[in-house]
A and B are shown apart, each in its own frame.
Chain A
Amino acid sequence: MATTLGPGSRPGTAATPEAGAAADQAALLRVRGLSVTYPSARGPVPAVRDVAFDVRPGEILGLVGESGSGKSSVCTAVMGLLPDGTRLDADEIGFEGRDLARLRERDLRRIRGRRIALVPQQPMTSLAPTTPVGRQLRWYLGDRLDDPQLRGTLQAIGLGAVLDRPHDLPGAFSGGQLQRLVIAIAALAHEPALLLADEPTTTLDATVQAQVLKLLLTLREDLGLAVLYVSHDLAVVAQICDRVGVMYGGRLVETAPVAEIFTNPRHPYTRALVAAMPSTTPADQPLRPIPGTAEGANLLPGCPFAPRCPEVMDVCRTAMPAPVRRAAATVGCHRSGGEAGEAA
C-alpha cells in the first residue's frame, strides 16, 4: 500500500489510519482491514467490517459499541478462535512480529494464553462447573500455584477464599470472586503482553465492578500488560482507558484518546453516545437516547450510522467514508473527511 504516508500527506487518501502514530511508537497489536463474516441460515452475517486499530505496549484501549456491533468478534478473531465456517479476512493482525491472521492453529496455540490472553464475557460460566477450582487453577497455573509469591498476589486481590477452599466447585463462589479468578488466571498464568477483556464487568454490581477495574489497573502497573477493554459502558471506559475505539454496525467509526472522546467527539455517533451518558447530562435534564435502532446497520453499504444520523448527507448512504486522522483521533465520517468520498 501507500509507502510514504506521513503526517503531512493528504488525509483523504490515508489507507493506513495510524501511520502517523506508528511512527512515534511501535504497536504491540496492529490490526488492519479486519473483517469477520458469520454464516447463517439467512445468508452471511458481516459482524466486523474493515476494522483497523493499534494497541500500544502497556496501554488500555477501550472498545465501545452497542450490543451486536462486533466487539466480541474482534476479540475472537484476534485469538483465532472464530467458530468453524466463519470467514476471517485481514490485511494484517500483527503481533510481536508475526501475522496472526496467517498463523497455523498449532502456532496460534502457543500464543493463546501465553502472549495474548482473553477474559471472556461470562465470568460465572468460564470455569468448568464440575471440576473443583483448585484443580482448574492447577490446569492453568501448573506448578506456579505453589509459588508463594503468586499465592501472595492471589491473596492480595481477594482470592484467599479460593485458595482456602480448593475442593469447592466454582458454583460455591460469588460472581465477583469468579471474575477476579478468571482475570487472575488469564493475566498471571503466563504473564501475557496483551489482555483482551471482553466486558469483564457487565454482569457484576457496581462495587464489585470497581474492584475488578482496580485489579486490571494494578495488573497493568505490575506486569506492564496492554489491555483491549471491551465495554458498552462509556462511563467505565472513561475510568480506565487511555484511548477509545467506537464501533457501530461492524465498523470502527472513531478512535481517539479518552479525553478527546468526551471533550471533542468527532463522529456523530460518538457525540450521540456521549450525549446519552447519564454523567454528562445535568440532573435536571432528560437523557437523550439515540433515536432509531442499530438493527441491520452491519448490512448497510455506506456509513452504518447514516439512518440515525442527524447530519446525514446523500453520500453517507452509498459510500463508507475512509478513515482520516484528525490530531490524535482517527474518524470515519464524510462530515470530517470533507472530500474523502470523492477522493477515495
Chain B
Amino acid sequence: MATYILRRAIGVLVVMFSVVTAMFLLLHASPVSPVNQLAPQVAADPVARAAVEHKMGLDRPLVVQYFDYIGGLLTGDFGVSLYDGSSVADQIGRALPVSLELGLLAALLAVVPAVGLGTWSALRQGRAVDQVTRVVTVVAMSLPGYWLAVVLLVMVDNPDFLPGAGGYIEFSEDPVRNLQVLLLPALVLGLAAFAMITRSLRGGLVEAYASDHVAFARAMGSSRTEVLRRVALRGAVVPTLTVAGVLIGGLLSGTVLVENVFQIPGLGQLMVTAFQRQDYQLALGGCVATAAIFLVLNLVVDLLYLVVDPRTRQGLHRA
C-alpha cells in the first residue's frame, strides 16, 4: 500500500509539472505582454520597450526563461510580479488562505446539511421530506451562482454581512466579522455542491437499501438505522466521495465570480487581476496554486477510497 501511495504522489508531481509547462508555454506563446500595460509612450517606443523587456528578462531565449522559472519553483520562488515587482509567492500566500477559508466554509455549509438531508430523504423515500428535498435540490442546482450573488447583494441590506469594497477582514483580526462577511459568499458558493451531494447520497443510499445485503440484514432483525450505519452508508459513500471531491476542489480553488461580486481578496480575484494586467508571472503562480489544490484533493479522495472500500485495497495487492 505504501508503494501505491508513493506512486500516486509521484503521479501528482508529474501532472503538476505538465500543468506548469503547458501554462508557461501558453502564456509566452500568446501575444500578451506586461509591457502593453505601461504608459503609451513607453509601450509604443521600441527602444524603451526593449529596455523594459530586458529589465524583466523577457528578451532571453524561452528555454532559459523556462528553466529559470522551474528552478525558482523548486526553491519556492514564484518570481516577481511583472506589474509592480512584488513577490508572487507573497501575493499567493495572502490570497490562498482567504480562498481556502471561503472554500472550506462553503464545503462545510454544503456537506453537513447534504449528509443530513440526503440520509433523511433516503430513509423516508417517497414521503413528503423526500419530495420536498427533490424540489429544493433541483431549484438549488438550477440557480446560477452569479445571479444569486447579485440578488443577495441587493436584498441583504445589512452592512454587517457585506464586506463593501475592500472591507474583507482577516479571521485573526476579528473572527466574528470575518465569518459574517464570508457567510453569504460561502452560501452562494456551496449551494450547488449541497444540492449535488444531497442527491448523490440519497441516490446511493436508496440503491444500497434495495440491495440484497441490506435485505438480509433487515431479515436478521437489524433496524433501519443500524442497517444504515453498518451496511448502507459505506456503499453510498463511495460514489458520493467522488462527487464531493470534485466539487470541493472547485470550492477551495477560489471562484472567480463569487469572489469578484463579494469583493473577497482570494485566489480567484488575484487571477482576474493578473490576467487583466497581463502579468504572466502572477497568473502562472495562481495556476500552479490552483492545480496543486485540485491534485492534492484528488490524492486525498483516492486514499479515502482505500479506507471506505477495502475492495480497492485487495485489488492493489493482486495488481
Q: Which residues of A contact B (CB under 8 A)?
A: 79, 81, 84-85, 109-114, 117-118, 120-122, 125-132, 139-140, 169, 171-172, 182, 185-186, 189
Ordered by A's residue number, 14 sampled pairs between the chains whose C-beta atoms are within 8 Å are A84-B126, A85-B126, A117-B219, A118-B219, A120-B215, A120-B216, A121-B212, A126-B213, A128-B230, A128-B235, A130-B308, A131-B230, A140-B220, A169-B314
A113 touching B215, Cβ below 8 Å:
no
The prevalent SS among residues of A at the interface is loop
From 32 to 48 in chain B, residues with beta carbon under 8 angstroms from any chain A beta carbon are none
The 6 closest A-B pairs by CB, nearest first: A113-B221, A113-B220, A118-B219, A125-B212, A112-B221, A126-B216
* Bound: A129/B207 CA distance, A: 14
B199-241 with Cβ < 8 A to chain A:
211-213, 215-223, 230-231, 234-235
Which residues of B lie under 8 Å from residue A186 when comparing CB positions? 219-220
- Report yes or no: A112 in contact with B219, Cβ–Cβ below 8 A: yes
Sort chain B's interface into a size bin. 20 to 34
Tell me if A79 and B219 are in contact (CB < 8 A): yes
Q: Chain B interface (Cβ within 8 Å of chain A)?
A: 125-126, 211-213, 215-223, 230-231, 234-235, 308-311, 314
Q: Is there an interface contact between B221 and A130, defined as CB atoms closer than 8 Å? A: no
Q: Which residue of B lies closest to A110 (CB)?
A: B221
The answer to whether B230 and A127 have CB atoms under 8 Å apart is no
Do B212 and A120 touch (CB < 8 A)? Answer: yes
Contacts of A129 in B (CB 8 A): 213, 235, 311
List the A residue with the shortest CB-CB distance to B235. A130
In the bound assembly, the distance between CA atoms of A122 and B216 in angstroms comes to 10
The answer for the CA separation of A216 and B213 in the assembled complex, in Å, is 21
Supposing A109-B223, A114-B221, A117-B219 touch, asked if A128 and B231 sit within 8 A by C-beta, the answer is: yes
Q: A81-B218, A109-B223, A185-B220 are in contact. List 6 more A-B contacts (CB 8 A).
A: A85-B126, A109-B221, A112-B218, A117-B219, A128-B234, A186-B219
Does A120 contact B219, Cβ atoms closer than 8 Å? yes
CB-defined contacts of B125 to chain A, threshold 8 Å:
84
What is the CB-to-nearest-CB distance from B224 to chain A, in angstroms, rounded to a whole number? 9
User: With the chains together, A169 CA to B315 CA distance in Å?
Assistant: 11
Task: Give Cα A111–Cα B221 distance, bound, in whole angstroms.
Answer: 7
Q: Name which residue of chain A comes closest to B309, CB basis.
A: A130
Closest Cβ neighbor of B214 among chain A residues? A128
Residue from A109, A122, A139, A172 within 8 A of B212 (CB atoms):
A122
Q: How far is the CB of A35 from chain B (nearest CB, A)?
A: 21
Residues from chain A with Cβ under 8 Å of B223 in the complex: 109
With contacts A125-B213, A185-B220 known, is A132 near B310, CB below 8 A? yes
Find the B residue at minimum CB distance from A139: B230
- Residues of A contacting B231 with CB < 8 Å? 128, 131
Given A139-B230, A169-B311, A169-B314: A127 and B213 interface contact (C-beta under 8 Å): yes
The docked-state distance in angstroms from the alpha carbon of A84 to that of B308 is 29
CB-defined contacts of B310 to chain A, threshold 8 Å: 130-132, 169
Query: What chain B residues lie within 8 Å of A111 (beta carbons)?
Result: 221
Contact between B213 and A113, CB atoms less than 8 A apart: no
Min CB–CB distance B79 → chain A (angstroms):
47
Which of A112, A131, A132 is in CB contact (< 8 Å) with B220? A112
Nearest CB on B from A204, distance (A): 15
Shortest Cβ gap from A185 to chain B (Å): 7
